[in-house]
Amino acid sequence: MYWLRKDRTNLVKVCVLAPWWQKDNVRYFNIVPMKKSSVFLSILFILSVFQINAQDKVRVNQLVIVANNPGTVIDKDIYGHFSEHLGACIYGGIWVGTDSKIPNTYGIRNDVLLALREIKVPNLRWPGGCFADTYHWKDGIGPKEKRTSIVNTNWGGITEDNSFGTHEFMKLTELLGCDAYINGNVGSGSVREMAEWIEYLTSDSENPMTKLRKENGRDKPWKLKYFAIGNENWGCGGNMTDEFYANTMRQYSTFLNDYADNKLYRVACGPSDYNFAWTETLMKDAGTRSMFQGLSIHYYSVVDGWGFKGSATKFDEREWFETMRLNLQMDNIIKGHAAIMDRYDPQKTKGLVIDEWGNWFNVEPGTNPGFLYQQNSMRDAVTAAIHLNIFNQHADRVKSANLAQMVNVLQSVILTKDDKMVLTPTYYVFRMFKVHQDAQLLNIDLRCEDYVNGSKKIQAISASASVDKEGKVHISLANLNPNKPVVLTCPVIGDTYKKVTGEILTSSEMNSFNSFETPDVVKPVTFNGFSMKEGILTITLPSKSVVVLELTK
């Protein structure tokens, strides 16, 4: 809330209603005057906030940023990724083995490794997905020639030799410098199997699992941050009811011990989409609620239903619009589940973990339907920005998220083919948005025009802002309209910034993509479409674009 008031020197100043402190679930607020606001700027600011044209048909495009009252920290884990034994995500995408002619480190592709380091991957989820609830971890340890081969019944029915297992995954996270997120097997596993996996990974005491780990070449235990108690147990993970899963989860969680100084963040299998009843069941009972620290949510944007999901590159504006509209639904999904959690956990000790999200289209022609290989276009870049902006805005409850998936599957950031690698438009969005990791969320007020398609309309702009430890403000924006540029007025109140720089990702066509033949069609470039005057930014966002600005003092 913003308004004008006079200070002791009779100077009119812009003021903001800012949170002061909280007690007994009641919030108290303080009236904070914005620094260095002249009478002229104050009047201009108020007029711009309420400005509408005479016909009241076109809304003003305005983003107000309060720079001197930072809020919650945007957990870096919101920018996490997902790697499943699915198609060429692991085998050929990440793992080629130590005998491969493709340059590698411990069997992990060097080109992929370096690209992932560049976007500062904070955590990586493995081994699934649906695959997790058919995976038995002891099949993937020990000498490779003695490991048991398995059939991947979920994805393509292919035989895997288990050459990529626990040790290889943990080595990958070490090389990336990220936290491990392991998904346990509830669907077809056992309590003992899961408990022993935790012991094998994290225990340093004398016991059979520690001895086994040392025999397999790892003397010291690993650090393991996230551990999920099952995956999609309402579906491929066992087709359970919410009550049945809640009781099963309590049983499994009881035996997931913290060893030495390792502290597990236990993630309970949460709902899909709008299944609020599932969340209610897991949150309403204090005994159940005490057994986990995070609750997962899965949501995929599917344009025309699961029977025909549309092409990743050959689509019209209706499909573009529907993808945008479905992506924006993530905000309502989070709000709905967060509202339930707030009733039982007002202190927000439990986090939402959006560990599967992204666009799901038909596979590329000529590829195995079970491998879920799809191209990645400018449409995916804009929708990635939408999701990350939404996660930032809900940083008080959303503590981790994982794009599905990292390489060669669904909305991936990297595509590989033999010894070739290409970075997708979604990859570049993650590279641009990494500035938000562990920064503090800034309050914003966005008012913008609609993007209209037929009888439907959505907001034309997606945005979020943060301030990092060095005092730099970062503003991330996306123009969802593929046809029209948008001029955005952006008052930055509460502090003064002298320098603005920017980067933009856009393309000539809404279905532009990077291929192995033309890998640089969609790539970020320097952005200069802005001006700064008396604390007010004016930004011209080209159609179908993603922009990140940096403000320094």
Q: Which among 472, 407, 479 has a CA at the least distance from the CA of 437?
A: 472
Which H or E run contains 39? helix 39-50
Exposed / middle / buried, residue 487 (Cβ in 10 Å: 0-12, 13-18, 19+): exposed
One-character DSSP codes across 252-309:
HHHT----TT---EEEE---BTT-HHHHHHHHH-HHHHTT-SEEEEEEEE-TTTTT--
Question: Could you tell me the end-to-end alpha-carbon distance of the chain, in angstroms, rounded to an integer?
Answer: 25
3-state SS of 326-357 is HHHHHHHHHHHHHHHHHHHCCCCCCEEEEEEE
Amino acid residing at 339: A
Query: Is 232 an active-site residue?
Result: yes
Angle between helices 425-433 and 378-393 (to 10 degrees): 30
What are phi and psi for residue 413, nearest 5 degrees? -95, -15
* C-alpha span between 522 and 423 (Å, rounded): 9
Q: Which SS3 state, helix, strand or coil, does residue 106 take?
A: coil
Using an 8 Å Cβ cutoff, are 271 and 213 in contact?
no
Active-site residue, from 84, 196, 232, 319:
232
Active-site residue, from 84, 160, 319, 356:
356
Using an 8 Å Cβ cutoff, are 364 and 315 in contact?
no
Query: Is 356 an active-site residue?
Result: yes
| 147: β partners | none
The CB density around residue 518, as the number of other CB atoms within 10 Å, is: 11
Amino acid residing at 309: K
- Label residues 29-67 b or e (16+ Cβ within 10 Å = b): eeebbbeebeeebbebbeeebeeeeeeeeeebbbbbbbb
Using an 8 Å Cβ cutoff, are 421 and 412 in contact?
no
69, 113, 181, 201, 278 from 166: Cα distances, Å = 44, 18, 12, 9, 31
The H-assigned helical ranges of 372-455 are: 378-393, 425-433
Q: Which active-site residues does the annotation give?
A: 232, 356
